[in-house]
Structure 1
Amino acid sequence: MLNENGIDSSVDLSEMERLSNLNVPDAAQQNVWAPKQELNINPLPAANDSDLRFTLDFFQSPSQLPATEIAVKPTISVLGLGYVGAVSAACFCDRGHSVIGVDPDVVRVDTLNRGESPIVEEGLAELLGQARQIGRLEAICDTHSAVIESDITLVCVGTPTGPTGECDLKYLRMASEQIGGALGLKQDYHLVAFRSTVPPKTTREVLIPILEATSGKRCGKDFGVCFNPEFLRESTAISDFYEPPKTVIGAVDQRSAAALAQLYKGLPGELIETSIEAAEFVKYIDNTWHGLKVGFGNEVGRLCKMVGVDSHQVMDIFVKDTKLNLSPYYLRPGFAFGGSCLPKDTRGIMHLAAANAVSTPLIDSIIHSNDKHIEHTLALIAEHRVKRIGIVGLTFKAHTDDLRESPLLELARQLHDQGHVVSYFDPNASSADLLRMGMDKHTSHSGCTNIDQLVGSVDLLVVGHNTDYGREAAQAAKRFMPVIDLVGLGNSFKYAKNCEGVCW
């Protein structure tokens, strides 16, 4: 969960770190989140392309799994009663579930058991009070008992930032050990859903191996695992729970996905089933994007103030464009930007800021980032150690004849300067314009007249236009030479043996 400063605060870590100083009777028997003996854990194999292509065909058949199914209205255990856990517990109680909340902090547990909220969050105290009054909610310090007595466990413990910026997984490791110990004693199928923000591959390579090692059971056969990121904001968390723009479920198999999806049945917004890795990463991307927007808006605001323009008026106009400005447009990974507008105007605002002594580090980084993307593409090509390079498309984008500041033209120039023989095909790029821009100095000839001529004269193909001729060239080339896809030609190319995407 994000606080007002954009910081993930899914649980009060200071409370958990005081655990060792609490005088809690029989703490070991209560299975609080404390380190156990060192585990001999072998991580699961790293996710490959097949793992990351989330289709139900890859899931284990339910006939291979234990017969006992999760109840229609399952009992839920929630580990970690901070901002995310307390809100999740209250809202699932409100939706008719019995919930067992778990936290090592006895003060927090006692607070919930009195029907009071341990945190300040609008509407939370009322929901917790109602849940206690009708007997749907209890809070304990015993993870072991909570898992044994529930069908689904939601893990909402904190993942703070370490001293060098890494994600600290110590609380997740502890919680996973406790869950695994309880799973080893259960006969029924149990689902574990992680909600704590983690880097991609954490669930598959760290948490599932802990669960398997401590339970002696197999994930996907004896128990299920999902990653279910939360998108709750402090101060509006209750409304965010009930009005989500999306619900994301990454699962090890379809049985796990289906069991967790039932918890969210009837809520608005799209329910998205995907790979565990994608579900983990999307939370990072969401929060980074939000931070990027705040930073961009503030840099614009500083510059507007300095030049005497009303920043709120400017941004009010800006956000009215939901076709390009606030939309999926331009957000799909691909090649560098170019053309007559984006590079020129970005440099223009950089100059304006410098002339007015306004610091705009985010805006200043845009051109540099774009140049680095071209360098990244050059590095991909260099890995293949070939001499003759073919490029499909030279204009800055398809269906235009504009070569101004084309990143494809710049790619061709740099390849030539590195000693490659560069050929190209672009039906919209005129020889006169290319000659005027000095392109004759950077290619082996003025260009190929058709796809067959291009493919027949090169050792590697770069596809820079997502057009019929781009797909035709890739289709012809992929059987016998490497193809670098800059535009996202589709799944038939994405997973082809000789095809590699610039960002996929």
Structure 2
Amino acid sequence: MNISVFGLGYVGAVTAACLAKKGHSIIGVDLHPAKVAAFNQGISPIVEPGLDALLKSGSASGHITATVNADEAVANSEASIICVGTPSLPSGSLDLNYVLSVARQIAAALTASKKAHVLIFRSTMLPGSTRRIVGEVFAGLVQAGTLQIYYCPEFLREGTAVRDFDEPSLAVVGTEDGSSAVPEEIAGLLGGKPELLRWEGAEMIKYSCNYFHALKVGFANEIGRLCKQLGEDGKRVMQVVCEDKKLNISSYYMRPGAPFGGSCLPKDVSALHAFVRHEGMSLPLLENTLATNAAHQQLFVQLIESKQKRRIGFLGLAFKADTDDLRGSPLVAAAETLYGRGHSLSIFDPQINLSRLIGSNEQQIQQRMPHLAQLMKSTANEVLQNSDVIVISQKCATLEALLPDVRPDHHIIDMNGWDELRSLPCQYDGICW
């Protein structure tokens, strides 16, 4: 393809060079004449392993040229990729002026030429930015059917950017509705087998990844500081932590849903927090872990109450399916709060037999919900019959068994990700967040 790449900084330079290596004809566009002149000579604007050789080869073969003229670039290309910077403002927000400026130049060129074109945003932008820019700048072209627009975040690391382009850790394509088929030649432009999302989802992926990476660095450094205080080897501790590919380095806990609970996580995080305070240390990530969980619990209750119904049902009460452990269960905490606020509760959990609860499990329930026995129902259907809002945290019954008692005015809050519930004739709210 003939492709124009707007912005010859880090992302743009690597994108241009790597696409030229694949045989595409690239027109680089930048407002700095010196950078354009250097690009035309095959000189890299940045230091990045492997990039100099690719640019020199691309320039020598004629696969890479550069210009300051946006109209010329658009006129001679079938697709444009926007890679300009989105620097931080003093407030911490992003400055989208460069993206908007380039978008308007491309829109003007396409309006004048009336040619069909593909536009790919690659600049890092906050969720909602692509849709806003499309509405402000490209609405007429999209409605005319002459412009296809995608958002494709980049995952290039400085020092390994060329290799990351060739072997991406993640490939994402955002479309307007998240379901429209992406032409193969577009999907294959930036490598990998892309995941398809809406524009907002694709934008959020970039921030989710970087937020997660920042958390991992912060977590490892907090563990390192604590180990240093104890005279332990923090690097070795983290090496062993990472050996667990089943829970620690996996997708196991990476699903939005209920707050964490149970007998281990709240107790151990709290104990470590107290230990760190005793040692006179400050570990902000650790200190705020319980706070963010408590905020999630509060929002969980608010979500239930937002339905403005008084009769609440719970399918599942234990903190995890196939157990009767009620210690630290966010469902118990929610039920306790709602009952205290005068809501009528109906609860079914096939694993809970109150006569069999022993030890701290029994003690906690006696202290927090001594009236639990009065709220328990013998079947899931009884819960549906006596409730208007149903919180489902476990698959306590089959869809076929639930169907006769589901009403159109039922609100179902699905904490389990049981997507088949969408087929029920009721108001399905999906995973609660």
Shorter chain as denominator, the TM-score bin is over 0.9
Write the deviation string for residues 22-77 of structure 1: whole angstroms up to 9, x where unpaired.
xxxxxxxxxxxxxxxxxxxxxxxxxxxxxxxxxxxxxxxxxxxxxxxxxxxx1010
Structure 2 residue corresponding to 1:154, chosen from 46, 61, 81: 81
Structure 2 residue corresponding to 1:227, chosen from 151, 159, 164: 151
Structure 2 residue corresponding to 1:108, chosen from 25, 35, 47: 35
Write the deviation string for residues 377-412 of structure 1: whole angstroms up to 9, x where unpaired.
111111122222111111111001111111111111
Root mean square deviation of aligned Cα: 2.2
Tell me the TM-score normalised to structure 2 length.
Answer: 0.92
Q: For residues 333 and 222 of structure 1, what CA distance do their matches in structure 2 show?
A: 38
Structure 1 residue corresponding to 2:53, chosen from 101, 126, 138: 126
Q: For residues 496 and 114 of structure 1, what CA distance do their matches in structure 2 show?
A: 65
Contact kept? 2:257, 2:431, Cα under 8 Å: yes
Deviates most, 76-85 or 420-429: 420-429
1:20-419 to 2 correspondence within 5 Å?
Answer: 74-212=1-139, 216-219=140-143, 221-252=145-176, 254=180, 257-264=183-190, 267=191, 269-419=192-342
Deviates most, 289-298 or 363-372: 363-372
Q: For residues 34 and 424 of structure 2, what CA distance do their matches in structure 1 show?
A: 53
Contact kept? 1:423, 1:444, Cα under 8 Å: no
1:416-495 to 2 correspondence within 5 Å?
Answer: 416-432=339-355, 433=357, 436=363, 437-438=365-366, 440-443=369-372, 445-468=374-397, 473=402, 476-477=405-406, 479-490=408-419, 492-493=421-422
Write the deviation string for residues 442-473 of structure 1: whole angstroms up to 9, x where unpaired.
55814100112111122211112145458955
Counterpart of 1:191 in 2: which secondary structure?
strand
Contact kept? 2:43, 2:52, Cα under 8 Å: yes
Q: For residues 494 and 453 of structure 1, what CA distance do their matches in structure 2 show?
A: 20
Q: For residues 475 and 177 of structure 1, what CA distance do their matches in structure 2 show?
A: 56
Q: For residues 246 and 350 of structure 2, what CA distance do their matches in structure 1 show?
A: 29
How many residues are paired up? 425
Q: For residues 245 and 9 of structure 2, what CA distance do their matches in structure 1 show?
A: 36
Contact kept? 1:251, 1:257, Cα under 8 Å: no
Contact kept? 1:392, 1:470, Cα under 8 Å: no
Q: For residues 176 and 82 of structure 1, what CA distance do their matches in structure 2 show?
A: 17
Contact kept? 1:76, 1:154, Cα under 8 Å: yes
How far did residue 476 of structure 1 move? 3.9
For 1:299, the aligned partner's letter is E
Counterpart of 1:324 in 2: which secondary structure?
coil
Q: For residues 474 and 294 of structure 1, what CA distance do their matches in structure 2 show?
A: 47
Contact kept? 1:225, 1:256, Cα under 8 Å: no
Change (3 A) 1:393 1:257: same
Q: For residues 343 and 222 of structure 2, what CA distance do their matches in structure 1 show?
A: 41
Contact kept? 1:377, 1:502, Cα under 8 Å: no
Write the deviation string for residues 74-113 of structure 1: whole angstroms up to 9, x where unpaired.
1010000000000000000111011000000111111111
Q: For residues 497 and 177 of structure 1, what CA distance do their matches in structure 2 show?
A: 45
Q: For residues 253 and 336 of structure 2, what CA distance do their matches in structure 1 show?
A: 25
Counterpart of 1:78 in 2: which secondary structure?
strand
For 1:95, the aligned partner's letter is K
Change (3 A) 1:440 1:350: closer
For 2:166, the aligned partner's letter is Y
Q: For residues 270 and 394 of structure 1, what CA distance do their matches in structure 2 show?
A: 40
Q: For residues 304 and 220 of structure 1, what CA distance do their matches in structure 2 show?
A: 62
Which residue in 2 is equivalent to 1:38? none
Contact kept? 2:152, 2:202, Cα under 8 Å: yes
How far did residue 348 of structure 1 move? 1.6
For 1:237, the aligned partner's letter is A
How far did residue 156 of structure 1 move? 0.3
Change (3 A) 1:75 1:390: same
Q: For residues 224 and 147 of structure 1, what CA distance do their matches in structure 2 show?
A: 14
Q: For residues 184 and 169 of structure 1, what CA distance do their matches in structure 2 show?
A: 22
Counterpart of 1:162 in 2: which secondary structure?
coil
Change (3 A) 1:110 1:471: farther
Write the deviation string for residues 233-277 of structure 1: whole angstroms up to 9, x where unpaired.
11110010011122111124846544411424xx4x432222222
Q: For residues 294 and 41 of structure 2, what CA distance do their matches in structure 1 show?
A: 59
Q: For residues 148 and 66 of structure 2, what CA distance do their matches in structure 1 show?
A: 24
Deviates most, 115-124 or 203-212: 203-212
For 1:175, the aligned partner's letter is V
Counterpart of 1:401 in 2: which secondary structure?
coil
For 1:207, the aligned partner's letter is V
For 1:148, the aligned partner's letter is A
Tell me the TM-score normalised to structure 1 length.
Answer: 0.80
Q: For residues 292 and 214 of structure 2, what CA distance do their matches in structure 1 show?
A: 17
Counterpart of 2:209 in 1: which secondary structure?
helix
Change (3 A) 1:350 1:299: same
Which residue in 2 is equivalent to 1:70? none
Change (3 A) 1:254 1:499: closer
Counterpart of 1:185 in 2: which secondary structure?
helix
Q: For residues 127 and 141 of structure 1, what CA distance do their matches in structure 2 show?
A: 21
Contact kept? 2:30, 2:36, Cα under 8 Å: yes
Deviates most, 490-499 or 288-297: 490-499
For 1:155, the aligned partner's letter is I
Q: For residues 398 and 128 of structure 1, what CA distance do their matches in structure 2 show?
A: 56
Identical residues among aligned pairs (%): 38
Q: For residues 193 and 445 of structure 1, what CA distance do their matches in structure 2 show?
A: 59
